[in-house]
């Protein structure tokens, strides 16, 4: 990585490594979706000195892919020529392999090839209906249950409503427009009134600026670079389209990392709220992040009927909040039930939280916030 460590502290060297490594990181996924979300998470690795020295070229003479040999549980990088080479020719590979669109290639190559994309429009072109229908038509395996009296499978809600008109299920047709993150962002923007005043400001206001990295990477790079030029905060949070519990989620102000993170699977990137409302934890002796979870009941779409359960649930981070150590889970995330730090799980009843919130935030009544 050519990092000069002679005049830097250990912590500075660590930070430099964590920043620079995204020019070298590679990724693969086992695809163990049947074993649960955790086992299907992507793996990141760095090749040895030889592999890491192979430079980028738009006209490469080699290809490299990861290969995992299950018999020995060993990972390898397979390398082979894609054109005739001569003695002493430099080995090169395409860091944006498979990308043919020029603007997309520029954005994907940002970690290695400097490009100014600030002229790219920030106006987000809302997707067509086909975008929301993606992956709607798929086949499911037939599962036979021994000893079962009668089991009937329904692929679409309409089938169930017609065969069992009095049956209620916890699902609505097309609900993925709000349960999948990239579609939620598109749906929210479509429902909001146009606000062309400042393209760097989120619209609607309750939703942080959000980009689908698979579809809007050049726009995100343009947005990042414009914020950088204007001296604005540039912390972002990257999330998979369709995972929960903060799995495969990261916070970063490193454009190299954000551009590369999309290689491990479909992601959205949202502007990170850098100055959130905090809660003082006496056991920590400092203010921490927290979130409020409400249960809502959608009983009808047409006409719209939505009910909110006023007894809410609270979740707290375990470490004092700051914009440092962005990889420190217990500082920046609040879901502790499934985390190693769960033994420090903080629980506060909503009845106790309301007076504490108002005492910690003079001038703000919970009834107005809610």
HEC sequence for 192-221: CCCCCCCCCCCCCCCCCCEEECCCCHHHHH
Q: 226 near 118, Cβ under 8 Å? A: yes
Q: Where are the domains of the chain?
A: 101-274, 275-370
Helix, strand or coil for residue 31?
Answer: coil
Please list the residues that pair with 296 across neighbouring strands: 308
Tell me the pTM. Answer: 0.88
CATH topology of domain 101-274: Dna Ligase; domain 1 (3.30.1490)
Residue of 25, 52, 29 lying closest to 111 (CA atoms)? 25
Give yes or no for residue 99 having a pLDDT over 70.
yes
Alpha-carbon distance 359 to 327, whole Å?
Answer: 31
Calculate the CA dihedral of residues 366, 367, 368, 370 and round it to 10 degrees: 80
Under DSSP, the state recorded for 112 is T
Whether 235 contacts 252, CB under 8 Å = yes
Q: What is the separation, in whole angstroms, between the first and last Cα of the chain?
A: 50
Q: Phi and psi at residue 163, in whole multiples of 5°?
A: -85, -30
When pLDDT is averaged across residues 97-118 and rounded to a whole number, the result is 96
Poorest-pLDDT segment among 140-144, 158-162, 210-214, 296-300: 140-144
Place of tokens 């359960």: 309
Q: What is the pLDDT of residues 252-302, one digit of tens each?
A: 999 999 999 999 999 999 999 999 999 999 999 999 999 999 999 988 888
């Amino acid at each position: 990585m050519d990092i000069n460590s002679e005049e830097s502290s250990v912590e500075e060297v660590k930070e430099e490594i964590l920043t620079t490594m995204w020019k070298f990181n590679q990724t693969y996924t086992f695809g163990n979706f049947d074993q649960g979300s955790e086992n299907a998470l992507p793996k990141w690795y760095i090749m040895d000195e030889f592999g890491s020295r192979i430079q980028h070229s738009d006209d490469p003479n080699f290809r490299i892919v990861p290969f995992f040999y299950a018999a020995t549980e060993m990972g390898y990088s397979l390398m082979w020529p894609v054109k005739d080479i001569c003695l002493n020719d430099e080995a090169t590979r395409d860091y944006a392999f498979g990308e043919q669109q020029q603007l997309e290639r520029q954005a994907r190559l940002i970690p290695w090839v400097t490009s100014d994309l600030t002229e790219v429009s920030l106006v987000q072109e809302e997707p067509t209906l086909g975008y929301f229908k993606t992956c709607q038509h798929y086949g499911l395996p037939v599962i036979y249950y021994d000893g079962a009296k009668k089991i009937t499978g329904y692929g679409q809600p309409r089938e169930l409503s017609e065969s069992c008109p009095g049956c209620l299920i916890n699902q609505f047709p097309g609900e993925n427009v709000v349960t999948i993150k990239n579609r939620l962002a598109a749906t929210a923007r479509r429902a909001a009134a146009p606000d062309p005043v400042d393209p760097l400001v989120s619209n609607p206001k309750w939703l942080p600026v959000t980009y689908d990295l698979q579809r809007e990477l050049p726009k995100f790079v343009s947005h990042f670079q414009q914020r950088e030029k204007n001296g604005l905060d540039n912390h972002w949070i990257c999330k998979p389209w369709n995972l929960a519990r903060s799995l495969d989620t990261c916070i970063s102000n490193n454009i190299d990392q954000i551009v590369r993170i999309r290689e491990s699977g479909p992601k959205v990137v949202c502007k990170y709220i850098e100055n959130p409302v905090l809660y003082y934890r006496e056991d920590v002796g400092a203010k921490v992040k927290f979130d409020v979870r409400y249960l809502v009941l959608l009983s009808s779409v047409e006409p719209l009927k939505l009910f909110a359960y006023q007894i809410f649930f609270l979740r707290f981070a375990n470490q004092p909040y700051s914009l440092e150590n962005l990889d420190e889970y217990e500082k920046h995330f609040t879901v502790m039930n499934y985390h190693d730090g769960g033994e420090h799980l903080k629980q506060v009843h909503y009845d106790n939280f309301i007076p504490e919130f108002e005492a910690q935030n003079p001038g703000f009544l919970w009834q107005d916030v809610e």
